[in-house]
Chains A and B, each alone.
Chain A
């Protein structure tokens, strides 16, 4: 079974530029998550989708971050304009949505450096 796919793996941009990340979840997983991991910290949720609807975006800086999952499968996360503090690894995860207990699986991440 293929895992969670993400691209690109690395991205270097200058502040005030825009950037987009792509994620394709495990086949059949209805729930998709984007996490931000700053160096030396644990990942923190940015946004959670159930199929193509947003379940939780309370920690998403909506003035510069946006995300979509139009067909309920793959997803894109965009930052516009980027700030220095956005330098981090952006992790995508997915899970089935059967019952209360479900395990999350993570992609390899996109390492963003903002100069």
Chain B
């Protein structure tokens, strides 16, 4: 089955710093979502981005489907950005299920 790899696994930054999270996937996909899992376990939808670039405030994401990767950018980090960020993909030709990566744990220190 498809493999989804996220890097780095852990990232510790000071408030105000910028960060880039990467998601590589091993096969073609027709859906890619980025989520933020907050300390209470809720998965918050950040982006639905099977291809192209999107921006929402301090967050932006780019997916290059032909090269099988996606990037999540966080600018001017705040302590509330802390948590685990997941990339999830839906393989072409498969069922509608999402296959998740292992996540990047982001810690923003004040």
A→B interface (CB under 8 Å): 31, 33, 41-45, 48, 55-56, 89, 91, 95, 97, 100-106, 108-109, 111
Contact = CB atoms under 8 A, between A and B. Distances in A.
Which of A45, A95, A100, A104 lies at the interface centre, i.e. has the most chain B CB atoms within 10 A of its CB?
A104
Interface string B46-78: 001010000000000000000000000000000
A103 B49 CA distance: 10
Which of B30, B33, B88, B97 lies at the interface centre, i.e. has the most chain A CB atoms within 10 A of its CB?
B97
Contacts of A41: 102-103
A43 B100 contact: yes
17 contacts: A42-B86, A42-B88, A42-B100, A42-B101, A43-B86, A45-B97, A48-B95, A56-B95, A89-B41, A95-B96, A101-B30, A101-B48, A102-B31, A106-B42, A106-B45, A108-B40, A109-B42
A41 B98 CA distance: 14
Which of B40, B48, B95 lies at the interface centre, i.e. has the most chain A CB atoms within 10 A of its CB?
B95
